[in-house]
Amino acid sequence: MIAPRKDTPTAPDTEVAEAREALQRVAASEVQAYGAWRSFDSATEAVRAVIGEIGEVVLARSIAVSPQDRDAALLLTISNRHLVALEGLSMDASNADAQDVVAAIAQALDGAKSLRFDIAARTPEMPSSARSWSWQALLEALEAPRENAVAPGIFTDVKALSVAWLEVETGGETGPEAALRALHHMAKARGGFVGQVDQFRQDRPHLALFSMTEQMFAVEVSWQGNLLLAICEASAREDLLAMWRGLVAGT
């Protein structure tokens, strides 16, 4: 006598999807492995990769993230797909929300488009504080920044295309001394006009290019009341304009 067939239980769709993703990660090329340099199309995609790494880690780990051609590294302590501690960021983590963390990561990477991920510790000391940020919250913060926040994508990508930059509101700057002097002079000269003739567009996205020499030009990017000044090589002009057109078309 044949016993009646019993329906075989199946895993929920979410578990199936997670298992499929895990198998895909195992089968991924060696370029994704720890210790290998990974290149990205934009600085924003590099930040997204850091957040993605947080989403990959379940058991507690400390992960070092190193931008290419830089001495400094970002150290992330991760557990159960949550960022629980971070070192190398210029921020007060005790009161930071996900948006603050994403902005600080972008600033720490400073426009880098090539990163290396390394395991710094497999059993890191966990902080006593219960504060943490899930990778989902960080990803949402990256993709949907606060209404009054600086557009991190455009600022970060302009920095990546520049030889020197000055973020006027924060005072952040990078570049050769002579180029930074020129940018500070530009910021001072611009300040005299803002209160007189430029108030009507302070809250509007704004891009301006100024020729300096045949090889160099200056850039002014204004977004939601925040100003970035930069100096770029002439070869970056088309990439910069294409990036700006794509941004304003989506706003």
Choose the weakest-confidence range: 34-43, 91-100, 144-153, 158-167. 144-153
The separation between the first and the last C-alpha atoms of the chain, rounded to the nearest angstrom, is 69
Same domain (yes/no): 134, 18 = yes
Domain that holds residue 232: 152-249
Q: What is the mean pLDDT of residues 56-71?
A: 88
| Averaged pLDDT of the chain | 78
Looking at per-residue pLDDT, the higher value among 42 and 219 belongs to 219
Q: Centre a 10 Å sphere on the Cβ of residue 137 and count the other Cβ atoms it contains.
A: 18
The residue to which tokens 């991760």 are assigned: 78
- CA 59 to chain centroid: 24
In a domain, 8, yes or no: no
Same domain (yes/no): 165, 226 = yes
Q: What is the mean pLDDT of residues 97-124?
A: 86
Same domain (yes/no): 164, 133 = no
Domain boundary among 97, 117, 143: 143
Same domain (yes/no): 170, 97 = no
In a domain, 3, yes or no: no
Same domain (yes/no): 118, 173 = no
Domain boundary among 143, 168, 194: 143
Same domain (yes/no): 18, 132 = yes
The domain total for the chain is 2
Burial 183-211 (b: 16+ CB within 10 A, else e): beebeeebeeeeeeeeeeeeeeeebeeee
**Is 18's pLDDT higher than 60?**
no
State the Cα–Cα distance between residues 172 and 230, nearest whole angstrom: 12
Same domain (yes/no): 26, 99 = yes
Domain boundary among 143, 163, 190: 143
Same domain (yes/no): 206, 244 = yes
What CA–CA distances, in Å, run from 25 to 7, 16, 44, 79, 95?
A: 31, 14, 21, 19, 34
Q: What is the mean pLDDT of residues 155-177?
A: 86
Same domain (yes/no): 161, 123 = no
In a domain, 241, yes or no: yes
Same domain (yes/no): 103, 132 = yes
**Crossing angle of the two packed helices 43-56 and 152-161, in degrees rounded to 10:** 120
State the Cα–Cα distance between residues 184 and 168, nearest whole angstrom: 9
In a domain, 179, yes or no: yes
238 — alpha (psi -120 to 50), left (phi > 0) or beta?
A: alpha
Write out the E strands in 91-144.
114-121, 133-134
Q: Which two tokens stand for residue 11?
A: 């895993």
CATH of residue 163's domain is: 3.30.450
The residue to which tokens 């059993």 are assigned: 123
Q: Centre a 10 Å sphere on the Cβ of residue 107 and count the other Cβ atoms it contains.
A: 20
Same domain (yes/no): 132, 190 = no
Same domain (yes/no): 94, 199 = no
State the Cα–Cα distance between residues 180 and 146, nearest whole angstrom: 30
pLDDT band at 33 (very low <50, low <70, confident <90, very high): confident
Burial 68-100 (b: 16+ CB within 10 A, else e): eeeeebbbbbbbeebbbbbeebeeebeebebbb
